Amino acid sequence: MSREKQIIGERIRKVKELRENGIEPYGYKFDKKNNALECSTSKVGVKVKTAGRIMIKRDLGRIGFANLRDEFGEVQIVLQEGETSDKIRTFFKKYVDSGDIIGVDGKIIKTKTGQISILVDKIEMLSKSIKPLPEKFHGLKDEEEKYRKRYLDLLLNPEVKNIFMTRNKMMSAMREFMEMHKFVEIETPLLQSIYGGAAATPFKTHCEAFDSEVYLSIAPELYLKKALVGGFDRVYEITKKFRNEGVDRSHNPEHMTIEWYQGYADYYDGMKMVEEFVKHLAKKVFGKYVFEYQGQKIDVSKWQTLTLNNAVKKYLKEDITKIKTTADAKKIAKKHGIDPAGITMGNIPDELMKLFRDKLIQPTFLIDYPIELAPLAKPKRGDPTKAEIFQPFIGGMEVARAYSELNDPVLQAEHFKEQEEERKEGNKEAMQTDTDFVNALEHGMPPACGVGFGIERLVMLFTNSTSIRDVLTFPFMKPEGVKKEKK
């Protein structure tokens, strides 16, 4: 029998014995009045009542120690002969193990080594741990197990929990920023009969009530713009999005975004807003605008702006204005190691951008993408072959996408028609025609700038994380037993 099985068997025996003695090993309630941080910073002599998980237990006969951890920190508890009753000390020695969740009453003392601790007067078992905690969780070689058993990762590695505390702080700061700028938070459907608002493959399911196919939202864009038609000037939503696509360091099928629409504004206004938004988050998290990401110092108070064409010229030494045919585009793609299949004059600049985006460390706006890539954006003033698009890059990551919103119903209908043609040719990410959205535009939508941020990528940036799975509390995992992973 393995050592772990022996431990499990012994703990199951303790559960049974506790019940035989009239003690319920899985409590219903505990009146916790103090957290671990409050206890560890209290004055000597103060009475406290707290609860948490036993991380380390040491019994030295006449005195016993344990480290008690909760959400806020860790505090030492002490059971001393002559101070703690023999009954409580016996209970601690016989039934309490590392991993158990217990409640304690006691008073604050300072040990001979100067450590603030709780001298225990009472102990209550709240949840008996059957399985022992991993002893060397930090050293796990299997990253999959770390993400799959995130509860252990969170429990044993405080730095992991700190990522999600930072995420929580950022979410609050986002709402604070939007409220400061007089945006109204609204909700849009996650189940939609027509998907749209982005180029992405949707998840499809079935609605029994109407015996019809429905899709999980790939973007809230069209509904938020309908709200502008309905009379709102500024709206936003923090929501989940679902895209049936590959999984890598910056993509997860289920992720969160903050998306906003600023009425009577264009993409120049949007860039100003984005800069202020990112500065606001940095100030809340770091107290300043300069921070480090993957060994690089980043200053979010300083931004540069490059057209996509000029960026390609700067980083790849290619003048894409000279591309006149699809054959030219495919030739350039092949030159740079890009599969020429599916390459067009319209998408070659975007594909080339993917080759150098990791060099965009300092905050950078790439602007003016080919109109073919943006069926929901306005044509650029003075150059209708381009769209008024901008994408902010920080730390080598694309963190958002935004544009001056198309509000011409006739042109929007034409763009939807083009998308339908692409769908017929096999482009699964091409948008469906949303006739209700066109109908809404026919009633008039004010000029606007829309911005969509990937929240996980922002959290990656502000927590110095390299994988999206590090900033998702419970990341999407490949089902156990599945050997192949489609890219």
Instruction: Write down the pLDDT at residue 482.
Output: 66
Read off the tokens for 401.
Answer: 């996408």
Residues 170 and 223 in one domain: yes
In the listed set 88, 108, 127, which residue is the last one of a domain according to the structure?
A: 127
Residue 146 lies in a domain: no
Residue 123 lies in a domain: yes
pLDDT digits (tens, 9 = 90+) for 57-104: 999 989 999 999 999 999 999 999 999 999 999 999 999 999 999 999
Name every residue whose Cβ is closer than 8 Å to that of residue 310 and which is 6 or more positions away in sequence. none
Residues 296 and 396 in one domain: yes
Residues 419 and 465 in one domain: yes
Read off the tokens for 181.
Answer: 């700028």
Residue 62 lies in a domain: yes
pTM across the whole model: 0.90
Residue 193 lies in a domain: yes
Residue type present at position 212: S
Q: Identify which of 20, 19, 49, 21 has the alpha carbon closest to the alpha carbon of residue 36.
A: 49
Distance of CA 471 to the CA centre of its chain: 5
Rounded to 5°, angle at Cα 380 from 376 and 385? 85
CATH number of the structural domain spanning residue 228: 3.30.930.10
- At residue 358, φ and ψ (nearest 5 deg) are -70, -10
Question: What are the Cα distances from residue 390, in Å, to 40, 364, 382?
Answer: 49, 10, 17
Residues 117 and 175 in one domain: no
Residues 414 and 375 in one domain: yes
Read off the tokens for 435.
Answer: 């006739």
User: Structurally, how many domains does the chain consist of?
Assistant: 2
- At residue 56, φ and ψ (nearest 5 deg) are -135, 135
Residue 482 lies in a domain: no
- Cα separation, 467 vs 250, whole angstroms: 6
Residues 176 and 279 in one domain: yes
Residues 112 and 159 in one domain: no
Within the chain, which residues score under 70 in pLDDT?
Answer: 135-142, 481-487
Instruction: Write down the pLDDT at residue 483.
Output: 63
- Cα separation, 456 vs 117, whole angstroms: 38
Residue 164 three-state SS = helix
Under a CB-based contact definition with an 8 Å cutoff, are residues 452 and 257 in contact? yes
CATH number of the structural domain spanning residue 109: 2.40.50.140
- Cα separation, 85 vs 120, whole angstroms: 9
Residues 267 and 379 in one domain: yes
What range defines the domain where residue 114 resides? 3-127
- Cα separation, 294 vs 277, whole angstroms: 22
Instruction: Write down the pLDDT at residue 156.
Output: 86
DSSP state of 133: P
Distance of CA 461 to the CA centre of its chain: 11
Instruction: Write down the pLDDT at residue 130.
Output: 97
- Cα separation, 393 vs 71, whole angstroms: 34
For 320-361, what is the HEC assignment?
HHHCCCHHHHHHHHHHCCCCCCCCCCCCHHHHHHCCCHHHCC
Residues 159 and 43 in one domain: no
Instruction: Write down the pLDDT at residue 63.
Output: 95
Residues 435 and 286 in one domain: yes
Instruction: Write down the pLDDT at residue 481.
Output: 66
Residues 110 and 197 in one domain: no
Instruction: Write down the pLDDT at residue 484.
Output: 59
Give helix 86-95 / helix 3-20 axis angle, nearest 10°: 140
pLDDT digits (tens, 9 = 90+) for 354-371: 999 999 999 999 999 999
- At residue 214, φ and ψ (nearest 5 deg) are -135, 165
Rounded to 5°, angle at Cα 55 from 52 and 59? 110
Residue 145 lies in a domain: no
- Cα separation, 466 vs 463, whole angstroms: 9
Residues 32 and 119 in one domain: yes
Instruction: Write down the pLDDT at residue 142.
Output: 66
Per the DSSP assignment, residues forming a β-bridge with 81 are 84
Count CB-CB contacts under 10 A for residue 90: 11
